[in-house]
Amino acid sequence: MQSFPGVGVSPGRITGTIKQMPRPLAEPPAGEKLAAGTDAATATAALQTASKAVQAELQARAATARADAKAVLEATALMAVDPMLIKSAVKLVNAGTSAERAVWEAAEAVAAMLVNLGGYMAERATDVLDVRARIVASLRGVPAPGIPSSDQPFILVAEDLAPADTATLDPEKVTALLTAGGGPQSHTAIIARSLGLPAVVAAVGIDQLPDGTEVYVDGAAGTITTQPGEAERAAAAAWAANSSLLSVFDGNGTTADGHLVPLLANVGGAADAVKAAAAGAQGVGLLRTEFCFLERDTEPSREEQVAAYRGVFDAFPGKKVVLRTLDAGADKPLPFLTDATEPNPALGVRGYRTDTSSPGVLERQLAAVAEAAGGSEADVWVMAPMISTPAEAADFAAMCTAAGLKVPGVMVEVPSAAVTSESILREVAFASLGTNDLTQYTMAADRQLGPLAALNNPWQPAVLQLVRLTVAGALAEGSGKPVGVCGEAAADPALAVVLVGLGVSTLSMTARSLAAVGAVLATVTLKEAQEIATLALSANSPAQAKDWAREKLPILAKLGL
Amino acid sequence: MSERKATVASSSGLHARPASLFAAAAGEVGVEVTIAMDGAPAEDAMDASSILSLMTLGAEHGSVVVLRAEGDGADAALDKLAAMLETDLDAV
């Protein structure tokens, strides 16, 4: 039996066999020639065989795919044998280029043409590049990049997952996520929580296990073991029986003694919002508007924006919806807003700061929000990401007022905003702690880097101190302005109790976590939560803070959280 | 050389699903068929069975395109494909 300790980021106990995500495909070197002894005719035949094999595989996947994915897969299957693509690759082969390099360059040219056309065509360039990678993989006899397809459910193991992988991740097939890299705030963690899959990240060496190895995963404890025995199977069965109890939230976040803590949802669009409302969310604590901007070359029109925002507002009539204005930059680049050549994008022109480099985009977004809010029954609040100073808060509040938006607020993600929250809250109506970025900036640890996972942990006592300071600033300001949390920290039931104890008034999280957080919060009084928070603040390490808090919350072990 | 003009009826133009369906059909008629925007020179015409060519053609709803083919069965093939272009394939 082998053990792989990692960082548990999404609870659940499960056994299953693993499949490794293939490594990204290396580009065939520029100028690569036909191998000695291979003539152009043989290489052309190999290329045609590979292109037909890729077509057949994509057609087979299209046959079992859902309607929306089916159309895309059918078109992609046709691209694999496209006469224009293959003819131009064969031309290169006839001039002496290797088959791999030929298809690489031919597809590059087609993709560039599509990108130049913009809009829908530009989005299809990704499909051409996907087909190219598959053909090259087939020529080399290695697995195609991307999430492996399988008839049987499996546990996916990867170095780390990118946001784009979410689209092809089928939660019916993938039962857990394990990564060798990544931290508690990495995309893998966010994807796992939103899909409700057990997940362990930063498990060094897990990417070396062969496909088909059976493992036991405990996503709360952060452990992975091979050759599961009777005890592990029993634990997995108990979790399966228990987890259905943790899937229902009654829509009433409160401590045992009736201190109300509204539990809100983080959403990225109307479809998410409808699901969150069905899961009992008491409103939206974070509407990530960049999702309607991502993968765009140009700014979406006002009509598009109004429709996208109203779709979310309409899911929560009479309830609060906190909209975060465009948060581009760092790991979410946008061609029309951010500079991809910045040496240090996490500390660069991102979030609210893009208003100085590309003025107008934010103003037009606020106008669209106001129009969407005007026609809806939701109570719309608006906040800016990456605010660092009271002056920025004041400028943002003035822009909101000019647009006719009544409740302006700020995200507290930069330590300077936490430290000066009293002055900042004089300028705006509320603050919301974005614990993911607050952690990476407090600890000076890139949230995407596996080796820094231990630093990049929202249980770090320094991060908890900044939460405490932000709340203290709001109290000192004197008019009772609320401070919420909308980072991943709020989805951890034990940490949620600590945050409430620190004086946070609302918690916003992925809708999947509402029931677990609600269930645990209902077992403690406000006074107990405050005591647990004091304990966590006095710890020397995130592990100690977490252990001390969990010791006081026996319900967690009982529920397998 | 036979020629047919057709007006693209699909509401999304000759992209996405209509392009898939049309390219697949053009690949199955047994003769090589080219497609060009009306008024473009014949030597710039592209392979109608190439979905990537169709996508780069940029034919929108209401665009007039010219189909060309030669040899046995050319007329029957062009009739079939022109009729397809004049159907709203988004509604199929």
Cβ atoms A150, A212 nearer than 8 A: no
Contacting residues for A305 by C-beta, under 8 A, at least 6 apart: A289, A292, A364, A365, A368, A369, A372
Question: To 5 degrees, how large is the angle CA A358–CA A267–CA A20?
Answer: 100
The per-residue pLDDT of chain A, averaged, comes to: 91
Task: Tell me the shortest Cα–Cα distance from A76 to chain B, in angstroms.
Answer: 9
Using a CB-CB distance cutoff of 8 angstroms, which residues of chain B are in contact with residue A82?
Answer: 23, 50-53
Burial of A463 (0-12, 13-18, 19+ CB in 10 A): buried
Nearest to residue B37, comparing CAs of B12, B1, B11, B13? B13
**Cβ of B52 and A85 within 8 Å?**
yes
Say whether B61 is catalytic. Answer: no
8 Å CB contact of A79 and B24:
no
Reply yes or no on whether the pLDDT at A167 is more than 70. no
Distance from CA of B21 to the nearest CA of A (A): 9
User: Domain B2-91, CATH 3.30.1340.10 — does that match?
Assistant: yes
User: Measured between beta carbons, which residues in chain A are less than 8 angstroms from residue B46?
Assistant: 84
Give me the helices (H) in A34-180, please: 40-64, 67-80, 83-94, 99-117, 119-140, 165-168
| Structural contact between residues A222 and A457, judged by C-beta atoms closer than 8 angstroms | no
Q: If you search the block for the tokens 């195609």, which residue do you land on?
A: A144
- Asked if the Cβ–Cβ distance from B16 to A71 is below 8 Å, we say yes
Given a cut of 80, is residue A297 above it in pLDDT?
Answer: no
Nearest chain A residue (CA) to B46: A84
Residue contacts between A and B (CB atoms, under 8 Å): 50
Is residue A195 very low, low, confident or very high in pLDDT (cuts 50, 70, 90)? confident
B56 vs A contacts (CB less than 8 Å): 110, 113-114, 117, 121
Please compute the mean of the pLDDT values over residues A530-539 and round it to a whole number.
97
Tens digit of each residue's pLDDT (9 = 90 or more) over A344-377: 888 999 999 999 988 999 999 999 999 999 989 9
Residues of chain A positioned with their CB less than 8 A from the CB of B58: 117, 121
Predicted local confidence at residue B14, as pLDDT: 85
Chain A residues within 8 A (CB-CB) of chain B?
71, 74-75, 78-79, 82-85, 87, 110, 113-114, 117, 120-121, 124, 128
Chain A CB contacts of B53 below 8 Å: 82-84
pLDDT recorded at residue A419: 98
Given a cut of 80, whether residue A324 has pLDDT beyond it is yes
- Identify the closest residue of chain A to B27 by CA–CA distance: A83
Residues within 8 A of A (CB atoms), B 19-78 only: 19-20, 23-24, 46-47, 49-53, 55-56, 58
The pLDDT value recorded for residue B92 is 63
| pLDDT for A166 | 65
3-state helix, strand, coil in chain A (%, to 5): 50, 15, 35
Whether residues A78 and B46 touch (CB distance < 8 A) is answered with: no
Mean pLDDT of A316-328: 95
Measured CA distances, B28 to A96, A126, A163, B16, B53 (Å): 31, 27, 38, 19, 17
Give per-residue pLDDT as tens, A62-88: 887 766 667 778 888 999 999 999 999
Given an 8 Å threshold on Cβ–Cβ distance, is B15 in contact with A120?
Answer: yes
Selecting from B15, B47, B51 the residue whose C-beta is nearest the C-beta of A78 gives B51
Chain A residues lying within 8 Å of B33, measured CB to CB: none
How far does the CA of residue A78 sit from the closest CA of chain B (Å)?
A: 7
First to last CA, chain B: 31
Domain borders along chain B are 2-91
Closest residue on chain A to B58 (Cα): A117
For residue A284, pLDDT over 90 is answered with: yes
| Closest to A360 in 3D by CA, of A403, A397, A321, A296 | A403
Q: What is the ipTM of this complex?
A: 0.89
Q: Tell me the backbone φ, ψ of residue A123, rounded to 5 degrees.
A: -65, -35
pLDDT exceeds cutoff 70 at A214: yes
Measure in Å the smallest separation between the Cα of A290 and chain B Cα atoms. 25
- In chain A, residues with a C-beta closer than 8 Å to the C-beta of B15 are 120-121
Which residues in chain A touch residue B20, judged by CB atoms under 8 angstroms apart? 71, 74-75, 78
pLDDT of residue B91: 72
The length of chain A, given as a count of residues: 561
Percent of chain A at pLDDT exceeding 90:
68
Estimate the share of chain B in helix, then strand, then coil, as percent rounded to the nearest 5: 40, 20, 40
Nearest CA in chain B to A84: B50
Q: At a CB cut-off of 8 Å and minimum separation 6, what does B10 contact?
A: B18, B61, B87, B88, B89, B90
**Averaged pLDDT for residues A268-291:** 92
Q: Is B24–A114 a contact, with Cβ atoms under 8 angstroms apart?
A: no
Q: Are A338 and A293 in contact (CB under 8 A)?
A: no
Query: Catalytic pick from B6, B15, B34, B68?
Result: B15
Report d(CA A511, CA A515) in Å as an integer.
8
Q: Model confidence over B34-80: pLDDT tens digits?
A: 999 999 888 889 999 999 999 888 888 899 999 999 989 999 999 99
* Distance from C-alpha of A212 to C-alpha of A16, rounded to nearest angstrom: 9
Mean pLDDT of A423-427: 98
Residue B4 has pLDDT above 90, yes or no: yes
Among all chains, which residue has been given the structure tokens 């990692």? Answer: A6
| pLDDT per residue as tens digits for the range A100-118 | 999 999 999 999 988 888 7
Shortest alpha-carbon distance between residue B54 and chain A (Å): 10
Check residue A307 and give its pLDDT: 93
pLDDT of residue A164: 63
Q: Which domains does chain A have, with CATH numbers?
A: 3-21+147-233 (3.50.30.10), 40-140 (1.10.274.10), 248-559 (3.20.20.60)
Binned at pLDDT 50, 70 and 90, residue A163 comes out as: low
Flag whether pLDDT at A493 surpasses 70: yes
**What is the pLDDT averaged over residues A197-208?**
93
DSSP A325: P
Q: Could you give the dihedral angle defined by the CA atoms of residues A176, A179, A184 and A186, in that order, rounded to the nearest 10 degrees?
A: -100
For A74, nearest residue in chain B (alpha carbons): B20
Helix H or strand E segment including A199: strand A199-201
Pick among B52, B54, B60, B89 to test the A interface (most A CBs inside 10 A): B52
Phi, psi of A11 (to 5 degrees): -70, 160
Q: How does DSSP classify residue A538?
A: T
Contact B55 A121 (CB under 8 A): yes
Determine, for residues B51 and A82 on separate chains, whether the beta-carbon distance falls below 8 Å: yes
Asked if residue B61 lies in contact with residue A99, where contact means CB atoms within 8 angstroms, the answer is: no
Give the strand order in the sheet containing A154-158. Answer: A3-5, A223-226, A214-218, A13-20, A154-158, A174-179, A199-201, A7-10
Closest CA to A368 of A274, A287, A468, A255: A287
Residue of A75, A87, A113 lying closest to B51 (CB–CB): A75
- Determine the average pLDDT of the residues in A189-218: 91
* Token code pair at residue A279: 């899961």
CB contact under 8 A, A75 and B17: yes
CB A450 within 8 A of CB A431: no
**Residue-level pLDDT at A367:** 97
- Whole-angstrom CA distances from A545 to A96, A305, A439, A553, B20 are 63, 42, 15, 13, 57
Q: In what order do the strands lie in the sheet with B33-37?
A: B2-7, B64-69, B33-37, B46-47
Q: Do A83 and B47 touch (CB under 8 A)?
A: yes
Whether residues B50 and A82 touch (CB distance < 8 A) is answered with yes
First to last CA, chain A: 24
pLDDT digits (tens, 9 = 90+) for A247-260: 778 899 999 999 99
Q: What is the mean pLDDT of residues B17-36?
A: 91
| Predicted pLDDT of residue B16 | 72
User: What residues contact residue A455 under an 8 Å CB cut-off, 6+ apart?
Assistant: A443, A444, A445
Contact check, Cβ <8 Å, A84/B52: yes
Q: B82 Cβ partners below 8 Å, 6+ apart?
A: B4, B5, B6, B67
Q: What pLDDT score was predicted for residue A382?
A: 98
Residue of B nearest to A114 (CA): B56
CB contact under 8 A, A117 and B58: yes
Hey, are the CB atoms on A83 and B17 less than 8 Å from each other? no
Looking at the predicted structure, is the pLDDT value of residue A539 above 90?
yes
Task: With a cut of 80, say whether residue A58 has pLDDT above it.
Answer: yes
- Residue numbers of A annotated as active site: 187, 486
Instruction: State how far the Cα of A76 lies from the Cα of A62, in Å rounded to an integer.
Output: 10
Task: Report chain B residues whose CB lies below 8 A from the CB of A113.
Answer: 56
Per the model's pLDDT, the better-predicted residue between A404 and A186 turns out to be A404
Q: Whole-angstrom Cα distance, residue A281 to residue A262?
A: 8
Q: Is the pLDDT at A178 greater than 80, yes or no?
A: yes
